[in-house]
Amino acid sequence: MNNKPQKPKSPKSSKPGISPKLKLSNSTKSKPTSKPSFKKIAVSTQPSTKTARPVKKSSLREVFSELNDKKPAHSQSLVKDISKSTPSAQLKYYIIFKPFGMMTQFSRENEKPTLADIKFDFPKDAYPVGRLDADTEGLLLLSNDTSLNSKLLNPVNGHKRTYLAQLDGTITEDAAKQLRKGVSITIDGKAYKTLPAEIKLVKEEPVLPPRNPPIRVRANIPTSWVELTLIEGKNHQVRKMCAKAGFPVLRLVRIKIGNLTLGNLQPNKVKELSEQEIESLVNI
């Protein structure tokens, strides 16, 4: 007689191929053991008694000046065009003769003079269209018409800017040909081939207001003048182009933007554009 204890038989599954343990596990997951809890949130309909932190306000001219400083002139199309909301009667256009050493902005960052030092009551939303380096003099356009950004600053539009440059040494025709075709310069650490430019050799010294301070010249080295017309405005482009051709720039003056010219305008002086000048400007 076999007295060995027999193992209990496992209960049979009601469905073939599925173990009781698996079935038990699945049934446990399908039935939550507890109900989800919800937190009550109190909502007040009364206004808050906390005082809002004051926000520093900036005028539009400071915002646009900062953008012009941080971005190259050809990339100003990112500036929001708000001129559509400004009545045409309130749109103003000015040109100034920016002197040597002045920053192309209204906000002050250091001891250098800025556009705020010019004694003229510009509209609060006027800003410089494009920029001139501190060491570059001449024609600068200011307006509260922001549509001018893409019209004047995008090289795709082929808008012309003309400069007079006094060079260290007597420029040769071969050097002028190089500048006309375009030369390789460095922009933001990368090689860049300039677009073709119009170059004219100026035989007689042009009539310009004296620079303050005057340029430094070498007694035994003559200087020469050249007129350059570009359709682009990379950082320090004219200076880099002339240096590449072998003739560093001693003095640089912008004399023309499109059909706008300096005329008899003197440094630190402002001229509001006439209706005819505005029409030629906005219809570019």
d(CA 91, CA 150) in angstroms, rounded, equals 17
Q: Tokens for 276, please give them.
A: 């005819």
**Catalytic residue at 133?**
yes
DSSP letters, the chain, are ---PPPPPPPPPPSSTT--HHHHHHHHHHHS-SSPPP--------SPP-SPPPP-----HHHHHHHHHHHS-GGGGGGS---GGGS-GGG--EEEEEEPTT--SSSS--SSS--GGGS-S---TT-EEES---TT-EEEEEEES-TTHHHHHH-GGG---EEEEEEEES---HHHHHHHHH--EEEETTEEEEPPP-EEEEE-SPP--PPPSSPPP--TTS-EEEEEEEES---TTHHHHHHHHTT--EEEEEEEEETTEE-TTPPTT-EEEPPHHHHHHHHT-
C-alpha triplet 261, 265, 270: angle, nearest 5°? 100
Given the residues 121, 133, 135, 188, the one annotated as active site? 133
The candidate with the shortest Cα–Cα distance to 130, out of 230, 269, 197, is 230
How many whole angstroms from its chain centre is CA 72? Answer: 5
Q: Which residue has the tokens 């390789």?
A: 184
Which residues are marked as active site? Answer: 133
